[in-house]
Amino acid sequence: MTAKLLVKRAGSTVVAGLLIVAMAVAANAGADIEAAPDITGPAKRPNIVLLLADDLGYSDLGAYGSEIQTPNLDRLAASGLRFSNFHVAASCAPTRAMLMTGLNSHSVGVANIPEAIPEDQAHAPAYQGVMHTHVPTIAEQLQAAGYRTVMTGKWHLGMDPERRPSARGFDRTFMLADTGADNWRHRSYLPIYETANWFEDGEPITLPDDFYSSEHLVDKAIEYIGNDGEEPFFAYVAFQAVHIPVQAPANFRDKYLQTYVGGWHALRAARSEGLVDAGILPDRLQGRPMPTTSDWQSLTPDQQAFEAKGMAVYAGMVDAMDHHIGRLINHVDLMGELDNTVFIFLSDNGAEGSLATRNIGGEARAPTGPFRAWMYTEGFNTDIETLGERDSYHDIGPAWASAAVGPLAWYKFFAGEGGLRVPLIISGASNGQNIAATTGGVSPVLGWATDIAPTILELAGIETLDSLPGKTLVPLISGETTELRAVKEGIGYELGGNKAFFRGSYKLVYNRYGSDNRWQLFNLAADPAEKTDLSAAEPQRFNAMLKAYNAWAEAQGVLPVADDYHQGRTVMLKGILNRPGLLATVALLLLLPVLILIALVVWLFRRRKVN
């Protein structure tokens, strides 16, 4: 059963002039799309809600075996379909570009976030860091087909007026243009931004005093959706949870104050078991040791207490997001539209392992002094008593990030499964009929970020073109098929020099770190933890997949990175150089103790000379 049957398609055809123009422009500009799709008008098209978490780990939801309380998402999972083998890019903007267009991120100009693109790549079309304006978005296509379209949350696909979501097919928007921001105040979270760049309907705005990100983004989504169910709506809600800074209201945080005192090794083991208990993975896996994870027992008691409370903040932030998702679901129910609304929930990448506020061993890192100096000038603190609350700044670091993805290898930015494999839940109904043939099920089929756009368009009754690289997931959801891609069909990926190629159950992967700094081959069906490299045992497959990756990379305009390229350092360096005043201020703060010491020595010398 396909979406065409679910929406009880009418016999008439609706011509969407705006969409045809947009498609024609895209074709003339050399985009992946060749012509305008046919749009048919169903009797009653379903509302579609796309919920995107930020930096959420593979095992962070109750429906994926977590101890974190996510009852609303769990209910969606119980009435819909979960995906255990769905992949996205390992960083936010490339994934968001694929979700919005259905095209590979390089082909729409977002090979990486703009803040992390080095100067030797910035000339290339694939490395603009902002989404090409000639490529149609799903919002533009839905809007042209009669949908009301709303967007709230993090956009990060361009801040210029013509690239804001208000100019890319959304009727109402409340958006953050940056990689992230403070969840409590109108304030930047990194020194590379002078302020947090928030916009409503394309115009700069100032956040209210009572702002908390997850709550306010849902408030705005409810406001924009309204109470009128006459026209179908598409709502895209892109949460800041659980991006740095990790912040949560105390009542959500305090549920978990004793949950993580056993440390990250214990949590990773528990999450591995939880994934099996939830039916996500078939067998309990022992994840490979991560070189960036410190020994929990090497920490002092005070350090352990701080880290445990920090992870409680993270859990509270996930819990709060779920709570507000529940409010949105309840609003749709009060509208009388719950039996004609489809919810899609996923994360933009794996858990975030960056650490800027402190050093806790493991990976060698840059000194934290300059960043902490900036934090204090901005009014942030890291006090354990109020950790996660207003004015607090926290990042969980690589050890907790590894635990958040269970037994998977690596996390955000890396091409390991922990960076690319994310939870995906699709649930809901169309015209009173559940879209899932088997509720509460789990699909192990390999999926990719470009599959979401054709899925949304088919649910809306909009014909998509074969030139889109993604595959609609509707036949999987409806039980029409258990397969998505042909055996020989591959998926290529690259971001910041980390790269991968998927074909069937096999994955070719290259991570720019330590002993992983080479191509490796894994059978994900038997080894999702990526522990046994098969490159020597299966040289024919290895060479064939490497050849296929190279062909894909050439077609997509992939550029190599320098041997010394480091994404985090590039972000900070580019940002600081764009703010010379801040650079001088931080330098002065760092030099101030030295200047005071010199002044004291000079004063003592003169005093002794006088005496």
Tokens 């101030």, residue?
592
The residue type of 109 is G
Quick one: average pLDDT of 46-72? Answer: 98
Say what the pLDDT of residue 375 is.
Answer: 94
Quick one: average pLDDT of 380-408? Answer: 98
Quick one: average pLDDT of 553-559? Answer: 97
Quick one: average pLDDT of 377-389? Answer: 97
Say what the pLDDT of residue 39 is.
Answer: 45
pLDDT surpassing 80 at residue 435 = yes
pLDDT surpassing 80 at residue 391 = yes
Quick one: average pLDDT of 559-587? Answer: 78
CA distance 179 to 193: 10
Q: Residue 232 — pLDDT band, cuts 50, 70, 90?
A: very high
CA distance 341 to 280: 25
Q: Report in angstroms the alpha-carbon separations of 324 from 51, 52, 69, 209, 218.
A: 11, 13, 13, 19, 6
Quick one: average pLDDT of 161-185? Answer: 97
Say what the pLDDT of residue 20 is.
Answer: 32
Say what the pLDDT of residue 30 is.
Answer: 37
Say what the pLDDT of residue 611 is.
Answer: 61
Q: Residue 407 — pLDDT band, cuts 50, 70, 90?
A: very high
pLDDT surpassing 60 at residue 35 = no
CA distance 313 to 331: 27
Beta bridge pairs of residue 172: 150
Give residues with Cβ within 8 angstroms of 446, minimum separation 6. 85, 87, 484, 485, 491, 502, 504, 505
Tokens 């002993």, residue?
515
Q: What is the pTM of this model?
A: 0.90
pLDDT surpassing 70 at residue 362 = no
- Of 182 and 40, which is predicted with more confidence? 182
Cβ(404)–Cβ(55) under 8 Å? no
CA atoms in the 13 A half-sphere facing the CB of 35: 5
Say what the pLDDT of residue 22 is.
Answer: 36
Say what the pLDDT of residue 438 is.
Answer: 92
Say what the pLDDT of residue 593 is.
Answer: 78
pLDDT surpassing 80 at residue 1 = no
Give 74-108 as a 3 state SS string.
HHHHHHCEEEEEEECCCCHHHHHHHHHHCCCHHHH
Cis, peptide link before residue 242, omega less than 30° from 0: yes
b/e per residue, 23-55, with b = 16+ CB within 10 A? beebbeeebbbeebbebbbbeebbbbbbbbbbb
pLDDT surpassing 90 at residue 257 = yes
b/e per residue, 118-134, with b = 16+ CB within 10 A? beebeeeebbbbbbbbb
pLDDT, the chain, mean: 90
Say what the pLDDT of residue 360 is.
Answer: 85
Q: Residue 369 — pLDDT band, cuts 50, 70, 90?
A: confident
Q: Residue 284 — pLDDT band, cuts 50, 70, 90?
A: confident
pLDDT surpassing 80 at residue 203 = yes
pLDDT surpassing 60 at residue 192 = yes
CA distance 478 to 90: 29
Model confidence over 288-318: pLDDT tens digits? 999 999 999 999 999 999 999 999 999 999 9
Q: Residue 606 — pLDDT band, cuts 50, 70, 90?
A: confident
CA distance 101 to 557: 18
Q: Report in angstroms the alpha-carbon separations of 348 from 92, 96, 423.
A: 5, 7, 10
Say what the pLDDT of residue 142 is.
Answer: 98
- Of 46 and 35, which is predicted with more confidence? 46
Quick one: average pLDDT of 488-511? Answer: 97
Instruction: Provide the annotated active-site residues.
Output: 92, 156
pLDDT surpassing 80 at residue 46 = yes
Say what the pLDDT of residue 601 is.
Answer: 82
pLDDT surpassing 80 at residue 37 = no
Cβ(585)–Cβ(375) under 8 Å? no
pLDDT surpassing 50 at residue 493 = yes
Q: Residue 586 — pLDDT band, cuts 50, 70, 90?
A: low
pLDDT surpassing 60 at residue 193 = yes
